[in-house]
Amino acid sequence: ELTGSREVLLQLTTLRPKGLGVLEHNISKLLRDYFLTSERLKSAEQEAAMEKRAWEFLIHQTNERILVLDPDFCIVDANEAFLKAMEKTKEEVVGAKCYAITHGLSAPCSRAHPELGCPLIETLRTGESAHAIHEHALPSFPPFYCEVVTYPLKGADGEVRRVIEVMRDITEEFSSRLEKRIKDMKEDLKGLIQEDRMISLGKLVASSVHEINNPIQGLLTFCGLMQEILEEGEPGPEELEKFKKYLSLMYRELVRCGNIVSGLLSFSRQKESKYRDVDLNEILDQVISLTRHKMEIQNISLKTEYYSQPLVLNGDMNQLQQCFLNLIFNAMEAMPEGGELHVSSELEPSGHQALIYIRDTGCGIPEEDLEHIFDPFFTKKREGQGTGLGLSIVYGVVKNHSGKIKVESQLGKGTTFILSFPLG
């Protein structure tokens, strides 16, 4: 047929070996194609079988927890690492819903806890790998955290037929990072507090200069008077009485100067951050002593009302001192033309919490600003008059001592800060 010569076909038929048939070319081609196709199918089946065995080997030999899921959240397969972690058998897991096994839920995670996010749904939606971090809180286990990554398995039509979900326990790593972050935040807070103390010290020194200058002028006057008396000759009994009176006054003024300087030195000194038993009433009194003269200059009337017994908590004196100082400075700045400042402490009826009230009769805070006043760098003061960190430091210190803070304010009437601290 290929040569087009009938003689060749007759010769081929005549001379063919016994038992060997001659097929037409078309039939021969069909059989040959069939044979080749059959061989290719066998090869593809063997390859698929090998791929399946390799896939199963990888899933079951890895230490990561792996699930094979269908688009309806059903578990098709689970490896030994997953079964061991969940303390379940394959019979209990295969066919069950993934959210029931991993989270103990009766509905998909994205419906029961929208904040979790579901990487399976994301992979089904996009056809791409997805990632999430889940907190698992099962009744029979302590809470643990897993990094969950999903990978799509697509059919010939490109549709996702299965999803492989790989779960990695990151509880220890997560806790370690969280502890480091908390430690870093505490270190940052300590640095901010020290910087804020230096700013506060500048304000205190500026007002204390006037307070120290007055007694110094008095001392100079008394010294001049005593010198004049001595220049007139030997002092008599009357002059000696004057000397005693002058010396008594000079002594009192020097003691006052010494107390002012000691207070400033004590406040400015860098002290090691240390938690110990401290009395809130005592700390409030120290802060009041440091700011009293500045209040007098600003014509601010002060009223204090402390609880009759010590309010002792385990805390950092430096931090608490700076916390109260910032609030009092804020109150004073809200009353530039004078006013009233009321500082009080009391014991909550339960006996477990100390309450501190710092109330002023200043300009008040606009309602729209109340939710932002503790935000870092939030300030309504003119440039150069404030950093916007004072109240955020107050908030950080209160939280560091497991306390709470709230603010009540009315424009034109004043502001009250209420702080609560657990005692003991």
Run of H or E including 285:
helix 280-297
CA dist 356 → 150, 245, 277, 311, 382 (Å): 52, 43, 17, 10, 29
Q: 384: pLDDT confidence band, cut at 50, 70 and 90?
A: very low
Hey, what amino acid is at 235? P
Phi, then psi, of 266 in degrees rounded to 5: -65, -40
The domain total for the chain is 4
Across the strands, what pairs with 145? 135
At 101-124, the pLDDT tens digits run 888 888 888 787 777 788 899 999
Residue positions counted in the chain: 424
Do 298 and 363 fall into the same domain?
yes
Neighbours of 292 (CB within 10 A): 13
Is 180 part of a structural domain of the chain? no
Residue 147 and residue 39 in one domain: no
Same domain, 243 and 327: no
| Residue 151, SS3 per DSSP | strand
**pLDDT, mean of residues 168-195:** 69
Q: Is residue 325 part of a domain?
A: yes
* Pair (350, 305) in one structural domain: yes
pLDDT tens track for 2-36: 666 777 767 776 777 776 655 555 545 555 665 66
Segment 322-347 mean pLDDT? 91
- Residue 113 is assigned to a structural domain of this protein: yes
Indicate the residue type of 31.
Answer: L
CA–CA gap between residue 280 and residue 321 (Å, rounded): 9
In a domain, 187, yes or no: no
Q: For 187-214, how does the pLDDT look when each residue is reduced to its tens digit (9 = 90+)?
A: 666 666 556 666 666 666 665 665 676 6
Mean pLDDT over each residue of the chain, to the nearest integer: 78
Residue 36 sits in the same domain as residue 107: no
Q: What tens digit of pLDDT does each residue of 59-95 get?
A: 555 678 888 889 999 998 888 888 888 888 989 989 9
Domain endpoint, select from 58, 81, 98: 58
- Rounded distance between C-alpha atoms, residue 186 and residue 421, angstroms: 18
Range of the domain at 76: 60-173
For position 223, which CATH number holds? 1.10.287
Let me know whether 46 and 159 are in one domain. no
List, in sequence order, the alpha helices (H) in 119-274: 119-126, 171-231, 237-268
Does residue 182 lie within any of the structural domains?
no
Please tell me whether residues 290 and 378 are part of one structural domain.
yes
Residue given tokens 């950092």 in the structure block: 316
Residue 230 confidence (pLDDT): 82
Query: Is residue 184 domain-resident?
Result: no
Each residue's pLDDT tens digit, 247-286: 887 777 777 777 667 666 655 555 556 788 999 999 999 8
Which pLDDT score is estimated for 269?
Answer: 58
Cα(160)–Cα(338) distance, integer angstroms: 73
| 384: CATH | 3.30.565.10
CATH of the domain at 107: 3.30.450.20
pLDDT in tens, 128-164: 999 888 887 776 777 788 888 998 888 878 888 888 8
Lowest mean pLDDT among 153-162, 381-390, 398-407: 381-390
Q: Are strands 300-305 and 339-347 parallel, antiparallel or unpaired?
A: parallel
163 and 208 within one domain: no
Cα Rg, the chain, nearest whole Å: 42
**Residue range 310-319, pLDDT digits in tens:** 999 999 887 8
Indicate whether 64 and 85 sit together in one domain. yes
Beta-carbon count within 10 A of 208 CB: 19
For residue 209, tell me if it sits in a domain.
yes
Same domain (yes/no): 143, 212: no
Q: What angle do CA 374, 376, 378 make, to 5 degrees?
A: 75
Does residue 415 sit in the same domain as residue 281? yes
Q: Is the residue at 295 inside a domain?
A: yes
Is residue 25 within 8 A of residue 1, CB to CB? The reply is: yes
Q: Examine the domain organization and report whether 65 and 155 are in the same domain.
A: yes
pLDDT at residue 312 in the model:
93
Greatest CA span in the chain, whole angstroms?
Answer: 169
